[in-house]
Amino acid sequence: MVCAHDEEGNLRELLPKLLSQNHPHYEVVIVDDRSNDGTFDFLRETAEHDKRLRIVKVEHLPNHANGKKYGLTLGIKAAHYDIILLTDADCRPAGENWLQSMAGCFQDKTQFVLGYSPYQKLGGLLNLFIRYETIVTGIQYLSFALMGNPYMGVGRNLAYRKSLFLQNKGFNEYLGITGGDDDLFVNKHARGETTVACIDPSSITVSKPKQTWSEFVQQKIRHLSVGKYYRFKHRVVLGLFSLTHILSWFLAAVLVYLQPYFWWVPAAVVLRLFIVSGTVYSFSKRVGHKFDVWAVPLLDFLFAIYYISTGTVALVTKKVQWKN
């Protein structure tokens, strides 16, 4: 299922990949959320040749409704199958076995399957940082899920049951919050015994990254601004992770300046970076999407600054748009 607004270009690339998945029984539901381009005409033409494509067209948005949550709700209600696999229009499945890999993780008790969605490798520092932020986030939420404590997922690659969605009245509990259609829904309803983290290389989707720093920052503010609505234990753990990351760089700089003869300070920093680099390398190799490990020291330092700046803005942000 894809919720799209003015995404004709992306859908022309994505739909053939979705309709060529190796799975005997599935449908592709595209929610056309008030598009002004040729999205609907393209979808209608494609649906005439492939009955697996179903179109849900949103003409008007009710007062006080969030565009993406409303569109997804209509799409999920219209779906014929119980398992809903979500992605975005600017994502591309790793191959023809993506659907089979994600859907194959479902057993009788499974309610959620969390997938991974890295970004395309392009040139420049921005792209390198976006991919690093994504892999660090992926390591966190997938590791937590593997340890039986899921706290979020990403709508670029996320599956759950329609029955669960309807039983819990969908996004009703946080309709007033912009965003959170993926991570808040997982945080609220996912439990260790009903959640599977899928890290098979065939299960990933690759997304198109932002092209400017301002676009990226706005996107992350939207994502981080809903973090304050996570369950308390998750806010504490994630807060401690961010705090220790920042303090490791800050205290290292202070101690080296005040006590330059304390050789163990830079040694501790190097050891930490070695561990982080090893973790990033192992994870990227496991999911079949390699990362430039040589850049981890610089990116890890920039990440500490990113935590402070973007996190602070996200805490005071109240209203953002869903489409980024």
Which CATH number belongs to the domain containing residue 70 in this structure?
3.90.550.10
- The tens digit of pLDDT for each residue in 126-153 reads 999 999 999 999 999 999 999 999 999 9
**pLDDT value at 317 more than 60:** no
Instruction: Answer yes or no: is 32 within a domain.
Output: yes
Residue 231 lies in a domain: no
Domain range for residue 307? 236-315
Residue 244: its pLDDT value, please?
Answer: 87
Residue whose C-alpha is closest to residue 229's, from 286, 175, 149, 283: 175
Q: Give the phi and the psi of residue 93 in degrees, each rounded to 5.
A: -60, 150
Q: Which residues neighbour 124 within 8 Å (Cβ) at sequence distance 6 or greater?
A: none
Classify residue 171: in a domain, yes or no.
no
What SS3 class is residue 201? helix
Q: Is the pLDDT of residue 322 over 50?
A: no
Listing DSSP states for 134-163 in one string gives: HHHHHHHHHHHHHTT------TTSEEEEHH
The residue out of 35, 50, 81 marking a domain boundary is 81
152 within domain boundaries: no
Domain boundary among 81, 96, 125: 81
Question: Cα(300)–Cα(306) distance, rounded to whole angstroms?
Answer: 10
Q: Give a yes or no: residue 166 inside a domain.
A: no
Give the Cα separation of 301 and 315 in Å (integer): 22
Q: Which of 81, 106, 131 is the last residue of a domain?
A: 81
pLDDT at 217: 86
Q: Is residue 257 part of a domain?
A: yes
Lowest mean pLDDT among 180-189, 230-239, 281-290, 308-317: 308-317
Split into its structural domains, the chain has a count of: 2
Is residue 185 a part of any domain in this protein? Answer: no
Q: What is the average pLDDT score of the chain?
A: 90
Q: Which amino acid is at 201?
A: P
Q: Is residue 306 part of a domain?
A: yes
User: Could you give the CA distance from residue 185 to residue 170 in angstroms, rounded to a whole number?
Assistant: 8
DSSP label of 30: E
* pLDDT value of position 323: 52
Tell me if residue 195 falls in helix, strand or coil: strand
0.75 surpassed by pTM: yes
- Element housing 53 (H / E): strand 53-58
Q: How confident is the model at residue 324 (pLDDT cuts 50, 70, 90)?
A: very low
